[in-house]
Amino acid sequence: MKNLTFKLLLLGLVIGFTSSTKAQVYNYNTQVATDTYRNDQVRVFKVKPNVWDVETKEHDTMYIIEGTEKSALIDTGTGADCKNLPEIVKKVTTKPLDIIITHAHGDHIGGALQFPAVWLNPKDTILIQEYIHKINTKLKPMKEGQRFDLGGGEVLRILDAPAHTPGEVVVIDEKNKIIYSGDAIGSGQVWLQCVPTAPMSVYYNTLCKIENVMKKEKITELYCGHQGYLSAPLNMKFIQRMKHITLRLMNGDQKGSELFINQNYKKSNIYRTMTEGNACIVYDARTIKNNKYTE
C-alpha cells in the first residue's frame, strides 16, 4: 500500500483531547506482567476470557474477539500507531478473521490498509469517497442485524448508531454481554460537530436504541473506541447522562456550555462542549434550535 493512500485516508479526524489521563488499567502506559503482548506501539491484554484489548500509545483501542471457529477484530487504529497489526493479531489468534470497522474516521479505519478486506457500513463511504478508487482493501458492505458467528456461542451483531458519522455502528457481543461502541458513546467526549453533522435528534434516537438493547439483553458494559482515556467500561448511567445532555441541546438549552479547545479546530464560539459528570458532547452551536448560548 502506498503511504500517500494511507495519509489521505486518515482525513485529519483523529480524536483529540485537551489533556491526558494518568495510566489506568486500559491505558497503553500501564505495565502488567500478564499482558499478552506489548511493543513500543501497542499493548494487548485480556478483558474477558475470549476478548482482548489492543491499546495503542495514541489512545486508539481495538478489540479481538475469539470464538471456537473464527475471530473478529473491531477497528484498526490509524495504521501509523500499529504498523504490523496483522502480525499482532496472530499473537492472539490464528483463526479466520473478520475485520469490522465501526466508522470511517481515520483513527478507526486507517489500519484497514493492512488487510485484504474489511466490513464497513456503506453509509460511511461518503467520508472516503474521494479515495476509494485508490484503496486496494476491499470494503465489504455491512448492515444492521448482520451476525458474525464465531463459534462456541460467540456471536457479534451489528446495530446502526448514526450521528458521530452517518454510518457509525456499534457491535453487540451476545455471549459476553458487551457493546463495543466505537465513538458513538464514550471516549471522554462524543464529537457531534464533525462534517457531515447530524441533527441532535438523530443522536438521541441512537442513545435510546442502545439503551433499549442493553435493557432487553441485560448488557451492562460498553467498551469504546478510545478506552485508554477511561478507568473502566461505561454503563447504563453514562447512557442516561448522555440522553439528558442531548435533550437539553435539542431544546436549545446551552447553559453551562464551554468553548471547545482542540488543535484541529480554530478557537471559535461555534464549537462548544456540554458536560454532565463524566459525559460530554462536542457540538456545533449553529445546529442547535436556540444557538444563543448562556455562559
Element (H, E) at 172: strand 169-173
CB 13 within 8 A of CB 106: yes
HEC sequence for 35-51? CCEECCCEEEEEEECCE
Minimum mean pLDDT among 63-67, 86-90, 98-102, 224-228: which range? Answer: 224-228
Between 9 and 119, whose confidence is greater?
119
Domain range annotation of the chain: 3-185+210-237
Q: What pLDDT, in 10s, does the model give residues 223-281? A: 999 998 888 899 999 999 999 999 999 999 999 999 998 877 777 788 999 999 989 99
Domain 3-185+210-237, CATH homologous superfamily name and number: Ribonuclease Z/Hydroxyacylglutathione hydrolase-like (3.60.15.10)
Whether residue 86 is preceded by a cis peptide bond, meaning omega within 30 degrees of 0, is no
Q: What pLDDT, in 10s, does the model give residues 123-156? A: 999 999 877 777 889 999 999 999 999 999 999 9
| Kind of pairing between the strands at 271-276 and 279-284 | antiparallel
